[in-house]
Amino acid sequence: MSVVLNAVDERGTFVTQRSRDLDGEVCISGAKNSVLKLMAACLLAQGRHVLANVPDISDVSLMCELLEAMGVTVTRADHRLVVDVPAELNTEAPYHVVERMRASIAVLGPLLGRFGAARVALPGGDDFGPRPIDMHLRALECLGATFSTAHGDIWGTARTLTGAEVVLDYPSVGATENVLMAAVQARGRTLIVNPAREPEVGDLVSFLNLMGARIGWVGDRLAVDGVEQLTPASNDNGYWVISDRIEAATLLAAVGVCGGSVYLRHAAAGHMTMLIRKLTEMGMRISVEDAGLRATVARRLTSANVSTLPYPGLATDYKPFLVSLLTTASGVGIVTENIFTGRFRYIDELRRMGADIRIEGHHAVVRGTAHLSGAPVRAHDIRAGAALVVAGLGAEGETEVAGAHHIERGYEDLAGKLAGVGAVISRR
């Protein structure tokens, strides 16, 4: 196998101490939630695809494993991936990969679009609530696909896919991406009504168009004119994956908790407008500088209310970091979760660190305290884990965040990047 996979060590921890006045520069990596879909999109065309700015995270390793199980050859070095897709593929996504990474469902659209067949293990729920895929299936059915489920797998078939109007009840990121990837080679025009508009969806649209697809915006709808065949997009420099706005948000929250001034190279201000507005309201100074952002915090932040919404609203993925920020800000902030209703489990861990948080339905009422108190805590998902690390940087004494493997699904060298700007943190 050309990809070297690191065994997941479930005993790994991040250990932090109270850190003050961060200073220096951090380079933001390529976006997890973009690269995983671009890798799935490679399945649409035979040949050699090259992706650049690929983050060194374990979800990318899992997607490599999934593609290799289908017969694709993947080589990974220096933040580049070379994805060699043969003429014929095994069109099955097995449970042992899907259960470890829900984003595996992104192969459903490309497999149906190119081969008219797919067998994908049904993803289960996860730590922040049920994660259904009904919208993906209904949308693909509009194009002519049929589905059955047996033995924990979804079997999809489509003799031919035909363009149609696809109305999404909710702008689901994953459903939008699956329809796009199925529709690019369908007969005629597909119109997606109420699509997701996240920057990662935009990156997929750009990548598919470079592969020969014909996708464009018609007002607030996405129009896809089917083409006969796609070809690999990339030249040898590779397609540059957009930068990870969620990683950038994590670093911004760390500056908010510790104070100081940090330059986030490659952070895309245009993808984070609402977040920047919210952090500015709380007292952070954020300016666009060259190809990145500078964040400066000179005093304790002030609380604000936060409500998660689909893009361009405040992303649900930012919410755990914002809660960590509010635990040490002055005043009371109310955080409302509108996307994943179960995404509050880490609150109990923050309470172990002395945070004053009350949950009422899908609202968290956070009363800031002058400082948290370090404690052993456990990460249950990527973003909650990163939020505990951020909180630990603002806590007196030592915080040990167990479950580092959850965090490493989506963060490249989080400890190294934070330590590089003066935070007291190590990965053990």
Q: Which C-beta is closer to ligand EPU: that of 32 or that of 76?
A: 32
The residues, ordered by sequence, that sit 6+ positions from 230 with a Cβ below 8 Å of its Cβ are: 44, 45, 184, 185, 208, 211, 212, 213
181 token code pair: 């990837």
**According to the binding rule CB under 6 A, does residue 201 interact with ligand EPU?**
no
5 token code pair: 């996979």
**According to the binding rule CB under 6 A, does residue 131 interact with ligand EPU?**
yes
Q: Which C-beta is closer to ligand EPU: that of 24 or that of 132?
A: 132
* Three-class DSSP category at 59: helix
**According to the binding rule CB under 6 A, does residue 97 interact with ligand EPU?**
no
**According to the binding rule CB under 6 A, does residue 320 interact with ligand EPU?**
no
263, 340, 344, 411: residue in contact with ligand EPU (rule CB under 6 A): 340
Q: Which C-beta is closer to ligand EPU: that of 260 or that of 403?
A: 403
Q: In whole angstroms, how close is the CB of 134 to ligand EPU at the nearest point?
A: 5
**According to the binding rule CB under 6 A, does residue 315 interact with ligand EPU?**
yes
**According to the binding rule CB under 6 A, does residue 308 interact with ligand EPU?**
no
242 token code pair: 């957009």
Range in contact with ligand EPU (rule: CB under 6 A) among 114-122, 127-135, 178-186, 283-291: 127-135
Edge-to-edge strands, sheet with 356-360? 306-307, 332-336, 363-367, 356-360
φ, ψ at 365 (rounded to 5°): -100, 115
Q: In whole angstroms, how close is the CB of 242 to ligand EPU at the nearest point?
A: 13
Indicate the residue whose CB is closest to ligand EPU: 174
Residues 367-406 that bind ligand EPU (CB under 6 A): 382-383
Q: In whole angstroms, how close is the CB of 176 to ligand EPU at the nearest point?
A: 8
28, 35, 36, 230: residue in contact with ligand EPU (rule CB under 6 A): 36
**Known catalytic residue: 126?**
yes
Short-list 296, 282, 237, 287, CA closest to 267: 287
Residues 158-197 that bind ligand EPU (CB under 6 A): 170, 172-175, 196
Q: In whole angstroms, how close is the CB of 165 to ligand EPU at the nearest point?
A: 18
Short-list 300, 306, 301, CA closest to 275: 306
* Three-class DSSP category at 175: helix
Distance CA(349)–CA(378), nearest Å, equals 7
Given the residues 21, 23, 56, 126, the one annotated as active site: 126
Write out 89-133 in H/E/C secondary structure.
Answer: CCCEECHHHHCCCHHHHHHHHHHHHHHCEEEEECCCCECCECCCC
365-386 core/surface letters (b: 16 or more CB in 10 A; e: else): ebbbbebbebbebbbbbbbbbb
**Which positions are catalytic?**
126
Contact positions toward ligand EPU, by CB under 6 A?
A: 32-33, 36, 103, 131-136, 170, 172-175, 196, 198, 315-317, 339-340, 382-383, 410
